[in-house]
Amino acid sequence: MTFRHCVAVDLGASSGRVMLARYDSEHRTLTLREIHRFVNCLQKTDGFDTWDIDSLENDIRLGLKKVCDEGIRIDSIGIDTWGVDYVLIDNVGQRVGLPVSYRDSRTTGIMAQAMAQPGKGEIYRRSGIQFLPFNTLYQLRALVEQQPELLPQVAHALLIPDYFSFRLTGEMNWEYTNATTTQLVNINTDDWDDTLLAWTGADKAWFGRPTHPGNVIGHWICPQKNQIPVVAVASHDTASAVIASPLADKNSAYLSSGTWSLMGFESRTPYTNDAALAANITNEGGAEGRYRVLKNIMGLWLLQRVLKERQISDLPTLISQTQALPACQFLINPNDDRFINPDDMSAEIQAACRESGQPVPLQNAELARCIFDSLALLYADILQELAQLRGAAFSQLHIVGGGCQNTLLNQLCADACGIRVMSGPIEASTLGNIGIQLMTLDELNNVDDFRQVVRANYELTTFIPNPESEIARYQAQFQSLRQTKELCA
């Protein structure tokens, strides 16, 4: 009997964890155990919203040490994180400047510059990536414009997971799935786009050619002096989550639900036509040449901020109270830029409702109901948009990630979308990270093989749409009104 022990370092925008996987190759059983969990949050440094990179590295090393201290021989390590952010380093590997977060306001107005030159169509033709004001494309332009004194010191720019791999191994890598989130990778060449990089003012020499998941970057020397391979997994956390989504067939869509919600489908070819551009569809890189055709949704970030601001610790009770309220009393657009990083999320939601002539959610449960209903209705709109883009309806939606534990939101999603929803696995990013490691170790053949392992080892919960629910009736009325307007236009 052969066991493999792989460690996944999975960093989200609000928390991080070091997870140990044990894989029995004979019985194809896969178990996960949490070794170390820690908080990841923004901090103000010299006026910027930044990440505490040193603290995160210390927690990663502590988690790895805990595994080794148990006497477990680790077969490999992989790191996945959120996208678009980067760390600058000099020619001796020391950090330059601050690890600024994508939620920082320094990119305000930068995307508007890009619309003038190179132009929206040209950027999309080259990258196939959606327009979000915090994409690395705009972050680098902001850096060059606002902190030119740093530029002579910079030798390399490493995306967050690549930076931590560098810190463990001393070797640099630019992993493809995460690189595509930057809006700087050419969709036809899978390499950095000269025109887009030139527009930022950053030096192309800062970047090495992106590498696809499944190669060994280098080795970490553990306290016991063993050399442990560090694998370039699908290092964008959503790319890893999609790998672990047990999609049944080409008519299955996915929703990776967490701080961000990302809804999409897999495709062997990208969608970069005028309809995709108009809908702001993104074609992020995935494993095995699969594109993640998707849209970003602000997600549970809104709820996380409300919980923090109002010091709410009992989420199950809040959800129970929320469920008792009528649906669709308070509705917002969760993707409005005003919700990216407001000073007071609760007040911002209330202001949005007030400005649109709606009742104002005052109580905790009312704010939560506003967030859940608004997300579910946005999910329905985007699922329909994606179906129209591909010319075929979806048969089911797989919700994965930490947000899939919210059974109320899962049911609201099923009702609003009018589609069967399957929830789980919860630790999808971690599992997808592990999946690539096992493929690199020649324990699994490919992504489809790994998804069979996921289906066999992790229980999924089904949510059947109820067309008589309040939110389903609201969505049906809204759709009917929209169709009438389109016919009369």
Phi, psi for 267 (deg, rounded to 5):
-150, 145
250 by DSSP, 3-state: which? coil
Is 238 annotated as a binding-site member? Answer: yes
236 is in an annotated binding site: yes
Neighbours of 154 (CB within 10 A): 18
Q: Which of 59, 104, 193, 237 is catalytic?
A: 237
- Residue 402 annotated as lining a ligand binding site: yes
Residue 466 annotated as part of some ligand binding site? no
Say if residue 78 carries a ligand binding annotation.
Answer: no
Distances (CA, A) of 244 to 96, 220, 247, 379, 447: 35, 26, 9, 21, 8
Report the C-alpha gap between 85 and 237 in whole angstroms. 13
Q: How far apart are CA 93 and CA 350, in angstroms?
A: 46
Task: Kindly give, in sequence order, each residue whose CB lies less than 8 Å from that of residue 157, ignoring residues fewer than 6 positions away.
Answer: 86, 87, 88, 89, 140, 202, 206, 207
How many C-beta atoms surround the C-beta of residue 467 within 10 A? 10
Evaluate whether 299 touches 334 at the Cβ level (below 8 Å): yes
* Residue 156 among known ligand-binding residues: no
Reduce the DSSP state of residue 414 to 3 states and report it: helix
* H and E: helices and strands count for the chain: 17, 18
- Other Cβ atoms closer than 10 A to 250: 13
Q: CA-to-CA distance for 91 and 178, rounded, in angstroms?
A: 23
Residue 396's φ and ψ, nearest 5 degrees, are -160, 160
13 is in an annotated binding site: yes
83 annotated ligand binder:
yes
Which residues neighbour 184 within 8 Å (Cβ) at sequence distance 6 or greater? 127, 136, 137, 140, 192, 193, 196, 197, 200
Q: Judge whether 293 and 283 are in contact, CB under 8 Å.
A: yes
DSSP string for 296-333: EE-TTHHHHHHHHHTT---HHHHHHHHHTSPTTSS---
What is the Cα–Cα distance from 349 to 347, expressed in whole angstroms?
A: 5
249 flagged as catalytic? no
Strand order in the sheet with 282-285: 282-285, 291-297, 261-267, 252-257, 396-400, 420-423, 461-463
* 259 annotated ligand-binding residue: yes
275 is an annotated ligand-binding site residue: no
Contact 435, 450 (CB under 8 A): yes
Residue 35 exposure: Cα atoms within 13 Å on the Cβ side? 26
What is the rounded distance in angstroms from the CA atom of residue 5 to the CA atom of residue 434? 10
d(CA 445, CA 248): 18
Binding residues: 13-17, 83, 236-238, 259, 296, 304, 402
Binding residues for substrate: 83, 236-238, 296
Indicate which residues carry an active-site annotation.
237
Binding residues for ATP: 13-17, 259, 304, 402
